[in-house]
Structure 1
Amino acid sequence: MQGARLIPFIAPPVILILLVGFALWVIAPAVPSLPAIQGAWLMPAQPLPAFRLEQHKGPVVTPNTLPGDWHLISYGFTHCPDICPTTLVEMAQFKRALDQQSQFTDLRLHFYTVDPGRDSLAQLADYLPWFHEQFSGWRAASGQDAEAFESALGIHASVTQDEQGSVQVTHGLTLFLINNDGRLQAVLEPTRTLTGRLHFEPDRLLQDYLTVRRWANNHQL
């Protein structure tokens, strides 16, 4: 009678993957969860591609000029009848509330025009101080710069002109928060009212901004 022979056990690939994953989960350091904001975190924060923007008060804006401060960027066009001026008013109210805080006031406010054909630097200079003296108006000097900047942030906009010369502009409604490394850290979204109207609540903006800054400060981002 032949002796019994042990047959080696070979784990299926799926089991091996699960075992390895469990081992890595046990030994890996815990990653702190992100606090909730009305919008989306970008983790890790995303670097911006090369671009060159003009601004109505100051030198040109490039990815190299952004580090050092935090930046909150809105977008639209100066001929906008309602959404854009409402957003700028709400951002100004948020900034005044922030200035009363004792920390994280190193924030710059910017308005990027998606209609550079009509929004010259002079037009931005006349328009923005009505809302807040610290607003900086940005515009792309070329289509290539506009495409690079808008694609990097996720700006959705279109400008069309009919046969009569009437210009139609459509665009989304979000705010972009750039950290002091010049990277896109978060995208803030508006509140929708019961009637379907979108707008930014200054108190909510303040809460979300401070949430991001405190988390980033505690985790040395």
Structure 2
Amino acid sequence: MSGPERITLAMTGASGVQYGLRLLDCLVREDREVHFLISKAAQLVVATETDVRLPANPQALQSFLTEYTGAVSGQIRVFGKEDWMAPPASGSSAPSAMVVVPCSTGTLSAIATGACNNLIERAADVALKERRKLILVPREAPYSSIHLEHMLKLSNLGAVILPASPGFYHQPQTLDDLVDFIVARILNQLEIPQDLLPRWGEHHLITGEGDD
């Protein structure tokens, strides 16, 4: 198995919750164990942007997501925002990679300043201090100087800043294609196999388009 076996996936209150839900589905399909964290604001955005209604209680949410994704029992573990005994809160047991998608600019700021006011912020802080893979997927427009300064600071600390800016060279036909573009880039960063999007040049090699 390439890539991490256990991953912390956090969703915060920015637009683009479809990216987080799709990534969860892909991680389950690739037999990864997912430690799932979600903010109250993200719950509201999910209800606004999708037809999905996520339970607020962590245990109920865990059962819902297990059924929703077709995961096996125990593959998805959901932790509350103040569950300080959860594995992501400690460098001794946290997964080796964490993705925050979507990542609100408020969460970006908290991580950049080491706030640790909730489990999402603490888990990201652990990833940074332990030099583990941390991928942040902000979705905002335009970015203020504050946002950009936080991104630069986090990038210098080793985090991967992967804005939700889908490309169009794969000629997307649906909204799902645009979502898959970003999710594929996240999976590539995690070194997890994906068939959502050909790597650059693969389409050319297969079809021979552009040959004389």
TM normalised by structure 1 equals 0.30
Bigger helix share: 2
TM-score, normalising length: structure 2: 0.31
The structure number with the bigger radius of gyration is 1
By relative contact order (CA 8 Å, sep 6+), the higher-ranking structure is 1
